[in-house]
Amino acid sequence: MYVNFDCDIASRNVFENLINLLTRSAFPVNSQISMTNTLALDGLVAVIQGMAERIEDAPPLLESTSVNLEVYMPFWMMRCDNCSDPRNWVPFVRQMKSIKKKLMIAANHFTQDRKKGFAKFLQEAHLLPEEIDPHSVACLFMYTAGLDKNLIGDFLGNHGELCIQVLHEFVGTFDFRDMCLDTALRIFLETFRLNGESKDSKNIFVDKDAALTISYSLILLNTDQHNVQVRKKMTEEDFIQNNRGINDGNDLPREFLSNLYHSICKNEIRTAPEQGASFPDMMPSLWIDLIHKSKKTAPHITMDNCPYLEVDMFDILAGPTIAAISVVFDDAEDEDIYQLCIDGFLGAAKTAAFYHIEDVMDDLVISFVISQPLESIDLEEFIMTFGEDTKAKMATTTLCTIANRYGDLIRMGWRNILDCILRLHEVSLLSAIVVTDAADDSAVAPDSWHEEKPLTKSFSSAQMPSTVMPRRSPGLIGRFSQFLSFDAEETRPRQPTNEELAAHQHTLETIQQCQIQNIFIESKFLVTDSLLQLSQAIIAAGRSSRETDSPEDEGIAVFCLKFLITVTLNNRDRILLLWKGVYEHISNVQSSVMPSALLQKAVFGLLSICWQLLLYKENLANELLRSLQLILKLDARVADSYCEQITQDIGRLIKANATHIRSQVGWRTVLSLLAITARHSEAGFDALSFIMSNRSHLLPSNFVLCVDAARQFAESHVGQVKRSLHALDLMAGSVDCLVRWAHETHEGPTVEDAAKTSRDIGDMWLRLLQGLRKICSDNREEVRNRALLSLQKCFVVVHEVSFLQNLWLRCFDPVIFAMPDELLGIVQEHTQKNYRDMEGTLMLAMKLLSKVFLLSIDELIRSENLSKLWLDVLSQMEKYMKVKIRGKKNEKLWELLPKLLKNTLLVMKTRCVLVQGNASHCDGLWDSTWYE
């Protein structure tokens, strides 16, 4: 039917008209379902189900070809080369259907402006040649259905040269052989409409032979006999008398004229109805015309049960059919009709999914959520009403079934689906099924779901909330959404009845059958466009819920954020598609200045995403770790509230992904988060110890950052002194990595690379020394003394590294000399109560000063700064000889300093640095020393 009629330019759209008839007949009047409505619905569903069944065994879809004409071609002469081979006739009928659609558009243009829009459109579609000729225009009038017949009549009756030529060509398109005169005239006049009085009609014809005269006489007779405004009708004798002598001066046979008279009187000559009007009666002239056309028409195409063109047919019927089924489902009260409608919905969804028609799937989803506001009822009444309403339960299940099965084709419909799910959450119907992610429990897989309260097969009255008896609600296809729009109110508890228990059970079973959790878990199988629309729908729902301050809206926002995190973690292979939107949404949430459930979920959801995706997305590692800077920007009140848990999660992230954090930006972020906890609690130090103890995790990219973090833990007074001492040991132990890297420097690919690496190692060593020097001023004796010993170790260990020795001169002023001065300042400005046992620290400082000077003596000999540095060392010893602790000189320092000075002088003498009368560049050092 569709192939041979709807795709034939000379035929009506029989299939399309049939679908329109069924859809119009399916719409109920005054919300009352009649037998006609049911039969029409049954027909529509049968068509859709037939399509859905045939696609199961459908052959591979034929390769699509262009249906547009590239050059002008007389479309009325186009024929299919092989009507038995689908590879030939399928593209042909699609092209003819496309031409037919364009001709219908052209007919509309012709009605509006036949001089400009009509011809221009057809020329652009290659349905008229660039140079318009009379024959092509005449054939266009002949074979284009829907043209305004009044305008055709005006055009053909015009005196213009082109119009006269078109008129001759137009008459030539008819085949009147073997026809009676009145039949031929009927067929001819049905193609256009004569306007005005009869006196104007003579302008159409130029020949004055007998056929023309009698034809004109028949037109007058037709008007006379069938026009209600003509009161005095022409008799047979009048008609014969009026036509005397027209046949070259002779009369036509009386019998012939009599037959024509009675034929016109009995059967009016009528033009075909305009496009959109009712179907014409099949008059004899139409039957005769149909028979003649059948002799010239293309061969009838026969086809098997294979759905070659059903995608085209489905595109025609989908919209009106879904609308009709929706209205019937809305008004129906019979379960059989419910099921028939659901079958139609699922059949349409299956067919749309097979042919990848996105708009139809969105229309299906939207048809389930059209709703009207109802008065608020409490939760118990909602559960009771929902549990007993078959329509609501079927709509709910069907909506979720479509989302689970055919989510690939859903686009804007995700917003409606999510809205319905959130309404279920609002009335606490999703309390039995809750989505979780790794932010909730590190032991739980990120894409896992668990049931807080498992569904049981039976409920006791103690488990059942109080309810009231249901009442029938107005039916709409949005019954699902209507029931979800109820507001919950507390009611006085009472003992539920058996009916209420059963309704409660049915409600929970329905929700369980919906498998809402799978919609988000299985999002990893969605195509890209659908996944993006789903994530955008979740973000939009969460954003709108955040705009109010009500606890209910915050709960919805938290629920949306859980869904978003679940979708993100389940699509780690496509995280680049989602990350921008997810990051911006979490960033907006974390702008809050007060702790809240939503902010908590955002913080730990972000940590969860980073923790679990770093392992799989190395190319996104920097972006993920940079996002953690949002946590560094948290308000102080928020950071203090979540500090312990943040640190634990950061620790787990580092231990799980230390080998995947390679950039300095990434390490700066995570170590900054760890360092913040040094001021709050013991948490975080284990993670730092994990990095610095494992030499494979301590890298040039994170060395300085780890040292700074360890310094902050060492300086922190939170917790026991043991942690600070451990932090100092980590700092001192890190120098071994510098030595190892220094030995590996010579294996660099180029001299330039080796030189750069050496400079970087030197800078890291200086930062380590400066960090330890700061801790040497700590008010805790064990800590500052351990810092001095650690500082000494850092000098001793690198003694054999030649290029680091070159940096020793740069260490004296900022480290070796600055540290004793700071200690002296502490002794002078602070009481013994704040800094106990400072004499031991001062002794260690002098030992370190002497040790470092002696270790660097070889380098100092080659330096011009030897004399200055040596005098500075003597000056420091002199200051310490004069220092008073508790108001008197310290005996231990008095005993230590001469020994250190003696040992230093002996070494300098042995190295020929301090020799009287030395002619080297050290000349004068003896005199300066003797003077000091």
Angle at 726 between CA 615 and CA 816, to 5 degrees: 110
Amino acid at the residue 285: S
Which H or E element spans position 769?
A: helix 751-775
Q: What is residue 885's three-state secondary structure?
A: strand
Give helix 358-367 / helix 335-355 axis angle, nearest 10°: 160
Give the Cα separation of 483 and 48 in Å (integer).
Answer: 29
| Residue 404 vs residues 407, 417, 431, 521, 522: alpha-carbon distances, Å | 6, 11, 20, 10, 8
| Backbone dihedral region for residue 232 (phi beyond 0: left; psi -120 to 50: alpha; all else: beta) | beta
Phi then psi dihedrals of residue 32, to 5 deg: -110, 125
What does the block give as tokens for 215? 């034809």
> Residue 299 corresponds to which amino acid?
P
Q: How far is 482 from 370, CA to CA, in rounded Å?
A: 8
Which is the catalytic residue, given 63, 70, 131, 197?
197
What is the Cα gyration radius of the chain?
Answer: 48
Torsion sign over Cα 488, 489, 490, 491: negative
Q: Which of 424, 507, 434, 522 is nearest to 464 (CA)?
A: 507
Q: C-alpha dihedral over 678, 679, 680, 684, to 10 degrees?
A: -10
Residue 814 DSSP class? I
| Beta-carbon-side half-sphere exposure of residue 179 (alpha carbons within 13 Å) | 21
CA distance 96 to 106: 15
Burial class for 720, CB neighbours closer than 10 Å (0-12, 13-18, 19+):
exposed
Cα three-residue angle 773-775-777, rounded to 5 degrees: 90
Is 53 catalytic? The answer is no
Closest CA to 644 of 670, 673, 667: 673
Catalytic residues, which ones? 197
